[in-house]
């Protein structure tokens, strides 16, 4: 029987192991301990509702859609001008970054954007990621056929892993060799660490010297509370010729279920053909976006726009401050227990070494069984994550306090 051929690159993927395995262990514990009140500190999802300014704006937009005169069908694939302009001025020009309205491409998520961006790059690029890493960067390169097979430790041939560890403060070092594409995430998921201006400057210099492209994932920029730390890579001189930036409304405004994000592609950024001709990546991304995507809803875009109003800013800032206070409580609580946490200052994640040299999964089991607290095993984010866990500050305050009390009793 003739059958269609599949993309065999998918067969190289390690089965989506981390979150299903966590869910399996939690389910098993819950079924044998139905009375247990399990606190989930593993999730990377917001818990607080949308802010009033966003809800009002979306209500108004729904009403417009119900009236012939203000009804809208397909919008521009790249996003409505009102939103692109609010983003470019509110997130960039207000911070002194040169970003034009039409360099903003609105989308339904940063996860999709940082996967889709591979459409416009060739298959022979050497790709560098940090270890530990947000798994999407790696898996999408595997699917696109940019890697070899994985080894026993789950690492793929052809990828350059930049080891982040306690010695370098969980900030990935620059590669010793030349790479074409670099994924940077700051503030970082999973480690919660953040790159300062000097370090980000080193990366931009590296990229310009080596003609590399940086994919800068700034999904957590709203969690930066110190103005000396760059929110955008375009705060660094020269980044417009070497970097694409991904931003999302998910963690900033609680849009994980609403879905809205955007990508910045400067018109000054170029790649090359095999024949050595320079091509603007902007033109390729425009072609890709307008061909494969039809925009996000008008209603959601009005909700996004509202986050840039005075009240919207104030309200979303308060939500972020709430999560950051959780992070502070977690960090300080763990320190008091004699543990050494990383992150959690400019990020909603705290990354901490397991006590007594326990493996990530054995400490996960101990927290689940003895404290009924669910964390994320660091080893799920890469080899260098072994011996660490990630705790998320996305939670209600009472859950955070209760969880810390329970953890203190078992470490
Ligand atoms: C949550 C998150 C995103 C945002 O993804 P969306 O698809 O926009 O919800 C992007 N990058 C990282 C590292 C994240 O943790």
pLDDT at 164: 98
pLDDT at 20: 87
Domain parsing of the chain, residue ranges: 15-44+311-410, 56-308
Residue 218 tokens, joined = 């700034």
CA angle 48, 52, 56 (to 5 degrees): 135
pLDDT at 16: 67
Q: How far is CA 32 from CA 35, 198, 288, 363, 407, in A?
A: 9, 51, 50, 19, 21
Residue 41 has pLDDT above 70, yes or no: yes
Residue 15 has pLDDT above 80, yes or no: no
Backbone CA torsion sign across 54, 93, 113, 72 = positive
Q: Which of 193, 250, 382 should be mutated for ligand 1, with most atoms under 8 A from CB?
A: 250
pLDDT at 17: 74
Report the atom number in ligand 1 closest to the C-alpha of 250: 9
Residue 160 tokens, joined = 């350059």
| Res. 330 pLDDT band, cuts 50 70 90 | very high
pLDDT at 247: 98
Return the half-sphere exposure (C-beta side, CA atoms, 13 A cut-off) of residue 94.
9
User: What is the average pLDDT value for the chain, to the nearest integer?
Assistant: 97
- pLDDT tens, residue by residue, 17-40: 788 899 999 999 999 999 999 999
Residue 10 has pLDDT above 90, yes or no: yes
Give the position of tokens 């609680």: 254
Residue 396 has pLDDT above 90, yes or no: yes
Residue 110 has pLDDT above 80, yes or no: yes
CATH placement of domain 56-308: 3.40.640.10
Residue 123: Cβ-neighbour burial (10 angstroms; 0-12, 13-18, 19+): exposed
Contact 79/104 with Cβ under 8 angstroms?
yes
pLDDT at 59: 98
CA–CA gap between residue 162 and residue 171 (Å, rounded): 9
pLDDT at 359: 97
Residue 247 Cα to ligand 1 middle (Å): 8
Q: What is the DSSP letter of 317?
A: H
Of the candidates 133, 97, 132, 138, the one whose C-alpha atom is nearest the C-alpha of residue 118 is 138
Residue 84 has pLDDT above 70, yes or no: yes
What does residue 4 show for φ and ψ, rounded to 5 degrees?
A: -70, 145
* CATH fold of the domain at 15-44+311-410: 3.90.1150
User: Which residues contact ligand 1 via a Cβ below 6 A?
Assistant: 44, 109-111, 134, 185, 189, 217, 219, 248, 250-251, 256, 261
Average pLDDT over residues 160-185: 97
Atom 14 of ligand 1, nearest CA residue:
219
């Amino acid at each position: 029987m003739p059958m269609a051929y599949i993309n065999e690159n998918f067969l190289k993927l390690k089965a989506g192991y981390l979150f299903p395995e966590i869910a399996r262990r939690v389910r098993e514990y819950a079924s044998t301990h139905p009375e247990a009140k399990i606190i989930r500190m593993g999730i990377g999802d917001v818990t607080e509702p949308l802010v009033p300014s966003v809800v009002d704006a979306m209500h108004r937009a729904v009403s417009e859609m119900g009236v012939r005169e203000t009804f809208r069908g397909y919008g521009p694939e790249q996003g409505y001008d009102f939103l692109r302009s609010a983003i470019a001025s509110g997130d960039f020009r207000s911070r002194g970054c040169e970003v034009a309205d039409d360099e903003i491409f609105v989308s339904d998520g940063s996860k999709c954007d940082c996967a889709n961006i591979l459409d416009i790059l060739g298959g022979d690029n050497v790709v560098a990621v940090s270890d530990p890493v947000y798994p999407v960067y790696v898996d999408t390169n595997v699917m696109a056929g940019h890697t070899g097979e994985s080894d026993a430790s789950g690492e793929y041939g052809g990828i350059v892993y930049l080891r982040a560890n306690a010695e370098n403060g969980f900030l990935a070092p620059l590669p010793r060799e030349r790479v074409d594409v670099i994924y940077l995430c700051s503030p970082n998921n999973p480690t919660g660490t953040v790159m300062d201006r000097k370090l980000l400057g080193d990366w931009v210099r590296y990229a310009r010297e080596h003609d590399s492209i940086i994919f800068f994932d700034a999904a957590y920029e709203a969690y930066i509370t110190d103005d000396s730390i760059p929110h955008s890579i375009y705060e660094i001189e020269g980044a417009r010729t070497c970097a694409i930036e991904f931003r999302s409304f998910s963690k900033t405004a609680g849009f994980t279920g609403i879905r809205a994000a955007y990508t910045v592609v400067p018109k000054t950024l170029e790649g090359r053909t095999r024949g050595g001709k320079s091509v603007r990546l902007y033109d390729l991304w425009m072609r890709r976006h307008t061909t494969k995507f039809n925009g996000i809803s008008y209603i959601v875009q009005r909700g996004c726009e509202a986050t840039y109003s005075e009240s919207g800013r104030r309200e979303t800032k308060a939500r972020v401050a709430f999560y950051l206070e959780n992070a502070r409580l977690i960090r300080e609580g763990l320190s008091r227990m004699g543990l050494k946490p990383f992150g959690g200052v400019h990020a909603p994640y705290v990354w901490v070494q397991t006590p007594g040299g326990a493996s990530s999964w054995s400490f996960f089991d101990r927290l689940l069984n003895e404290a009924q607290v669910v964390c994320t095993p660091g080893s799920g984010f890469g080899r260098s994550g072994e011996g660490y866990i990630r705790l998320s500050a996305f939670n209600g305050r009472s859950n955070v306090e209760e969880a810390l009390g329970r953890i203190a009793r078992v470490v």
